[in-house]
Amino acid sequence: MLTLHIGNKNYSTWSMRPWVLMTEAGIPFTDVMLRFDSFEPDSQFKRSAEALSPSGTVPVLVDDGLVVWDSLSIAEYLAERFPQHGLWPATAADRALARSATAAMHSGFGALRSHFPMNIEASLPEVGARVLREQPDVVVDLQRLLALWESLLARHDGPLLFDRFSIADAFYAPVVMRLKTYALPVSPRVADYMAQVQALPGVQAWVAAALQEHDFRPFEEPYRQGPDPV
């Protein structure tokens, strides 16, 4: 049985990617949460994560003693381990574009990710509007992201980036949640894509679990004093 070590579902974008990928594909696994108490070297989270892999971060996938860390490495490993699930698109051209888009998410859009941390249980449109007014680099990232999605969606008739679900959609699922939380402006085509991603059973299962955590982490939410009343 595969074991995926993850962080808090409400906050951990990196963990959400392989969890949604495996859940949506129907790959059996168990998950173990390493709670975000702090990211300081002496925190319980850091000690636990460093005991698992050299990265000292999550996610970490363990498969019969083999330890794979980093969300992109985990996705590539799963694509090779379970070729029957077609985790990358079917054609060579689409696979190349899907890998390019996935790598762009993995290493880029730093301003957007920094100023809009994932917080599934929150609704923060006022923070979104303020950041877009004050941070031009975030506006540039958002425009690049939306242009990328528009170009990929225009290639196909299906509801997702490459018609059927792929690694690319799993990697962008946390960004969909960010755009929702901060109520960022999107086109009708992108809004439809976001709705399709949120309707995926794997995403719905992750969101449902995130909403049950009720684990406010102040260092993850510098923009507010506490969670919204339930």
pLDDT tens-digit map of 80-106:
999 999 999 999 999 999 999 999 999
CA distances from 159 to 97, 98, 107, 183 (A): 17, 15, 25, 21
The amino acid at residue 63 is D
Q: Are 181 and 116 in contact (CB under 8 A)?
A: yes
How many angstroms separate the CA atoms of 56 and 49, rounded? 5
In a domain, 31, yes or no: yes
Domain boundary residue, one of 85, 100, 122: 85
CATH of residue 69: 3.40.30.10
Choose the final residue of a domain: 55, 85, 115. 85
Average pLDDT rounded to a whole number, residues 149-155:
96
Query: What tokens appear for 20 in the block?
Result: 């949604």
Residue 164 lies in a domain: yes
Say whether both 36 and 133 belong to one domain: no
* CATH code for the domain in which residue 148 is found: 1.20.1050.10
- On whether residue 98 sits in a domain, the answer given is yes
Q: Residue 130 pLDDT > 50, yes or no?
A: yes
More confident: 214 or 19: 19
pTM: 0.93
Using CA atoms of 203, 206, 212, 218 in order, give the dihedral in degrees to the nearest 10: -100
pLDDT for res 226:
55
Whether residues 97 and 201 share a domain: the answer is: yes
One DSSP character per residue, 172-197 reads HHHHHHHHHHTT----HHHHHHHHHH
Which residues is 180 bridged to in the sheet? none
Pairing of strands 60-63, 29-33: unpaired
pLDDT range class, residue 228, cuts 50, 70, 90: low
- What is the reported pLDDT for 216? 67
Structure tokens at 3: 């074991």
Same domain? For 80 and 185 the reply is no
Same domain flag for 106 and 202: yes
pLDDT at 215: 73
* Average pLDDT, integer, range 56-81: 97
Query: What is the Cα–Cα distance from 174 to 139, expressed in whole angstroms?
Result: 18
- Kind of pairing between the strands at 2-6 and 29-33: parallel
| Owning domain of residue 42 | 2-85
Percentage above 90 pLDDT, the chain: 85
Residue 230 pLDDT > 50: no
Question: What mean pLDDT, rounded, does the chain reach?
Answer: 93
pLDDT bracket for residue 36 (50, 70, 90): confident
Per-residue pLDDT tens for 155-214?
988 899 999 999 999 999 999 999 999 999 999 999 999 999 999 999 999 999 999 998
* Residue 229 belongs to some domain of the structure: no
Count of beta carbons in the 10 Å neighbourhood of residue 45? 19
Write the single-letter amino acid at 81: R
